[in-house]
Amino acid sequence: MPTLDVPKGIPRAQSPFPNTPVTDKKGIEIKTVGYKRFGFDSEVPLDILRSLYLRPHYVATVRGEDVKETEDEQVAQFVSGKFAEYQSKSIYNPETQSISYTTLSRFPPVKLLPNSEKKRILVTGGAGFVGSHLVDRLMLLGHDVTVLDNFFTGSKTTVSHWVGHPNFEMVRHDVIEPFMIECDQIYHLACPASPPHYQFNAVKTIKTSFMGTLNMLGLAKRTKARFLITSTSEVYGDPEVHPQNEDYWGHVNPIGPRACYDEGKRVAETLTYGFHRQDGVDVRVARIFNTFGPRMNPYDGRVVSNFIIQALQGEDMTVYGDGQQTRSFQYIHDLVDGLIALMNSNETRPVNIGNGDEFTILKFAEHVRDIVEKVQREDGTPMKPKNGTNRVNIIHKPMPTDDPQKRRPDTTRAKEVLQWEPRWTVEMGVEEMVRLSPSNTMAEKQPIILVTGANGGVGFGICHRFLIQLAQQSPPDASPSAQKSPITLIPAEISSYLPVNGLTLILACRSQQRAEAARNQLFQLLDEELARQKANQLNISHGEKLRKNLKIEIVSLDLSSVESVFACAADVRRRFPYISHMILNAGLGAFSGIDWFRAVYEVLTDLKAAVTSPGFKIQTAGKISGDGLGWVWQCNVFGHYVLVRALRDMLAKSPYDQSRVLWMSSIEGRPSFFPGIDDWQLVKTAYSYEASKYSTELLACTLDMAEARAARTPGESEIRHFVVHPGVAGTNIFIEHTGWFLSKLMLLAFYVARLLGSPHHPISTYKAAISSVHIALVSLVVLPSIATHSDTSQKPGQPPSDAASHSTTRESDYQPVRYGAETNMWGTEYVGVQPVEGWEEHKDIGAKLLARCGQLYEAFEKKTML
């Protein structure tokens, strides 16, 4: 790659690879991948491919200086210590509800092909593991590439470095629906490939294999495009012939748990050759054997990623059965070489593409352990095993159903007709993957925090506050003092979440554009904070470490659609190992206007009450969602319940002692607005917003008590549910009804109310976030969510007798509380604590709400599975 002009004294992004050359099985140095074969040049320099797995290039502009290019994002932000414009910056204008974008990232270099040689190539499943590597190669070769993906197991991030390139197009589309495009070649890869994913929805997996293939073959027939389908070694089942050649018909259980994938691929092959014989479609069939490499989902249950992640994190490595079952593993570069060679050859018969080097699973685990230890020694970052010994152990668990005992390809046909054979040894590929694995730099546990509605308002303030607080070694929010509270808080103990060595924030939002803008702004706000601390000569080493290991990810979530919530949960499960916190902030109201006469009367008679719990909002009753539920109730209550239940096992996997779910209520969430169980979906009431917030409180408290009674398996994180509210914040929720001028007057009224003594007006979304961030970080011993009020003699500095674990308290003694953001008249924020109003009278309704939500969840789950 060309040398980049980086200012002197600024460190270049470090490559994880040693300077020693990579040699193939024959001892020949690997400088390029690909071949010049069948009139198609697929050669690409290895260093170029490696660069795609590292940090992207950024253009950094500094006032009064030349434009600089660098591989390091942090360098781009602080070239010569000055703040720089960097990456894809976006500015959101709330008044016009518009976003302006500036793209400052540099695309990887691609070959410049004449139009006569440039092909129009469609890649289905192009955002997945194999698909993204194929897309990289095709793009670097200079072709026009269109990616088709529904992002069930794929992710935009795998090909995001190509977004905006004139040769690249990405389309969100499910292949079970027809798609029209003009193309020359179709690589049909779309289908979940790991057991947890294809077994999650077995019917959908079969539909993808059959209907998706049918639609793509129909497209190939219409456009006269060459069609390649990626089949699998699973078509051989648990083989009785070893090794397996292409003429072997297989030994498959058609009704086993893996059959949805195995038989789906077999029928896809049948369909492919039906189109070939009947309609003359030019087809290719690649039977892929076990493949590994960068961008594998580290938590999808496949053996390579399992072993690498466990070894990197110092955990015992899990082998199923006695470990004598065998597999052969090929590195991703070899597979892509084979796919491109097959597509451009004249071979129409099925072709095995795999590595003939066979290992027992037990022996492979030992190899991975040795390689991880070697890389960590060389990097100077040895991981102390969690078992207390000198190295991780290999443990055994029962063998899954239908797991094949032997699997190794006979690749004679590939060698003869494609002149293809694997160049990478398994050991070489594993070392390459270990060096590129994010877990190699994230061995320490980190909070993974999901925030709904994070792209604006209080949700954005919560994310902002998390970053500012966790950039400090001892965050003030881990031990704030509460004032004017019926519960006395005590100085905080050290939180189990601190100190933070890294952080993953997940922004769960409906608007992806606003989420992108929020992500960029959050990075910018943290950088500005670190620059301010540096200017004040403060120690920013902890903040810099957080910034280096900070990830802000985006998932799509529309709470008004249960299908969207399930899809969001599936996306989270695919991309992250666990969840430590969920902040259920997103919410809305069916507001249709303002009763101006009443508004004037309330402001003149009691300003504080008028701007704290306004009675002049007009709400539309009877609004129904597309799922046939009360619209406000679904968005504010049930959608969040579905998300929590679908991700409960992810919360239980947290490496911390507790995982925390924070349910955002409102200062207006009171029982006086709740219409009763007869209108539990809040369709008839004229106060659906306020009632939904009280329903949220009842549901959260009932869930917390249910978790207290639930049995936990050893190693599971305790799951706690808390009720929080932000007080009154100055957001744009009413701007469409008040207009800009009146919204500014209302903001002024908030300040006046605060000066008059109202504690409920933090106003800024950053200050309004204190209740959420505090409850997320503070020790449970200090601030339990279920507390008793009978002991009025409790003194500051003394923990409540039952604070460490509410499960030791009698259920009749439970008094749920909610935590609110409050301020003094000068705007200093603190956490206020109040009992959940009307709990004794409504706790039975809470149990009924939980039961009905559970029944609805199960009904929608069955519907989604179909």
646-693 tens-digit pLDDT: 999 899 988 888 899 999 998 888 898 899 899 999 999 988 889 999
21 lies in a domain?
Answer: no
| Residue 19, pLDDT score | 67
Domain coverage including residue 808 = 448-865
Of the given ranges (28-42, 457-471, 829-843), which has the lowest mean pLDDT? 28-42
Do 152 and 174 reside in the same domain of the chain?
yes
| Residue 851, pLDDT score | 95
pLDDT of 812 above 60: no
Cα of 218 vs its chain's centroid, Å: 34
Res. 504 pLDDT band, cuts 50 70 90: very high
pLDDT of 747 above 60: yes
Last residue of a domain, one of 43, 73, 106: 106
pLDDT of 496 above 80: no
Task: Report the CATH number that the domain containing residue 704 is assigned in CATH.
Answer: 3.40.50.720
Do 64 and 155 reside in the same domain of the chain?
no
pLDDT of 489 above 60: no
Closest CA to 373 of 317, 294, 291, 297: 317
Res. 69 pLDDT band, cuts 50 70 90: very low
pTM, 2 dp: 0.64
Q: Once rounded to an integer, what is the mean pLDDT over residues 95-107?
A: 56
Do 453 and 433 reside in the same domain of the chain?
no
Residue 295 CA to residue 305 CA, distance in Å, equals 10
| Residue 284, pLDDT score | 97
Q: Once rounded to an integer, what is the mean pLDDT over residues 71-79?
A: 40
Q: Once rounded to an integer, what is the mean pLDDT over residues 7-23?
A: 54
When comparing pLDDT for 380 and 152, which is higher? 152
Do 435 and 459 reside in the same domain of the chain?
no
Q: Once rounded to an integer, what is the mean pLDDT over residues 269-281?
A: 96
Burial of residue 37, with CB atoms counted within 10 A of its CB: 0-12 exposed, 13-18 middle, 19 or more buried: middle
Closest CA to 400 of 366, 361, 426: 361
pLDDT of 237 above 90: no
Do 60 and 139 reside in the same domain of the chain?
no
Of the given ranges (290-304, 502-516, 644-658, 734-748), which has the lowest mean pLDDT? 734-748
Token output for 579: 């969840």
Look over the chain and give the mean of its residue pLDDT values, rounded to a whole number: 80
In the numeric block, the tokens 């239940």 are attached to 645
Q: Is 261 a catalytic residue?
A: yes
Token output for 475: 């965050």
Residue 643 and residue 567 in contact, taking contact as beta carbons nearer than 8 Å: no
Type of residue numbered 184: D
pLDDT of 500 above 90: no
Last residue of a domain, one of 106, 136, 169: 106
20 lies in a domain?
Answer: no
Q: Which is it for strands 617-619 and 591-594: parallel, antiparallel or unpaired?
A: antiparallel
Residue 109 and residue 103 in contact, taking contact as beta carbons nearer than 8 Å: no
Burial of residue 13, with CB atoms counted within 10 A of its CB: 0-12 exposed, 13-18 middle, 19 or more buried: middle
| Residue 628, pLDDT score | 94
Token output for 20: 């020693």
272 lies in a domain?
Answer: yes
Terminal-to-terminal C-alpha distance of the chain = 49
26 lies in a domain?
Answer: no
22 lies in a domain?
Answer: no
When comparing pLDDT for 66 and 46, which is higher? 46
Res. 65 pLDDT band, cuts 50 70 90: very low
Do 256 and 402 reside in the same domain of the chain?
yes
Residue 202 CA to residue 259 CA, distance in Å, equals 9
| Residue 90, pLDDT score | 52
pLDDT in tens, 424-444: 998 898 888 888 775 544 445
When comparing pLDDT for 274 and 376, which is higher? 274
Do 412 and 362 reside in the same domain of the chain?
yes
Closest CA to 156 of 170, 168, 142: 170
Q: Which residues of 732-759 are buried (b: 16+ CB within 10 A; e: fewer)?
A: ebbbeebeeeebeebeebbeebbeeebb
pLDDT of 336 above 90: yes
pLDDT in tens, 126-175: 999 999 999 999 999 999 999 999 887 777 778 888 988 899 999 999 99
pLDDT in tens, 288-314: 998 998 888 766 667 888 888 888 877
Last residue of a domain, one of 54, 72, 106: 106
pLDDT of 79 above 80: no
Of the given ranges (271-280, 671-680, 732-741), which has the lowest mean pLDDT? 732-741
Do 343 and 466 reside in the same domain of the chain?
no
pLDDT of 5 above 70: no
Where are the strands (E) in 577-711, listed by range? Answer: 581-584, 591-594, 617-619, 658-664
Q: Once rounded to an integer, what is the mean pLDDT over residues 479-485?
A: 43
pLDDT in tens, 755-780: 877 888 888 899 999 999 999 988 76
Residue 144 and residue 208 in contact, taking contact as beta carbons nearer than 8 Å: no
Res. 798 pLDDT band, cuts 50 70 90: very low
743 lies in a domain?
Answer: yes
Do 157 and 201 reside in the same domain of the chain?
yes
- Number of Cβ within a 10 Å radius of residue 645: 17
| Structural domain count, the chain | 3
Do 817 and 729 reside in the same domain of the chain?
yes
| Residue 731, pLDDT score | 66
In the numeric block, the tokens 């390459």 are attached to 432
2 lies in a domain?
Answer: no
| Residue 507, pLDDT score | 96
In the numeric block, the tokens 């070649």 are attached to 185
What contacts 24+ positions apart, CB below 8 Å, involve 141-145? 141/41, 141/42, 141/44, 141/110, 141/111, 141/113, 142/110, 142/111, 142/112, 142/113, 142/117, 142/118, 142/167, 143/113, 143/118, 143/119, 143/167, 144/118, 144/119, 144/120, 144/168, 144/169, 145/121, 145/169
| Residue 785, pLDDT score | 41
Q: Give the three-state DSSP class for 125.
A: coil
pLDDT in tens, 841-863: 998 999 999 999 999 999 998 87
| Residue 753, pLDDT score | 76
Do 721 and 754 reside in the same domain of the chain?
yes
Closest CA to 194 of 273, 291, 50, 86: 291
* Catalytic residue selected from 261, 497, 641, 819: 261
- Number of Cβ within a 10 Å radius of residue 556: 17
Residue 466 CA to residue 449 CA, distance in Å, equals 9
Closest CA to 34 of 143, 124, 116: 143
Do 824 and 789 reside in the same domain of the chain?
yes
pLDDT of 495 above 70: no
Res. 194 pLDDT band, cuts 50 70 90: low
Q: Once rounded to an integer, what is the mean pLDDT over residues 748-760?
A: 78
Token output for 149: 């993906």
61 lies in a domain?
Answer: yes
| Residue 829, pLDDT score | 87
Residue 584 CA to residue 647 CA, distance in Å, equals 13
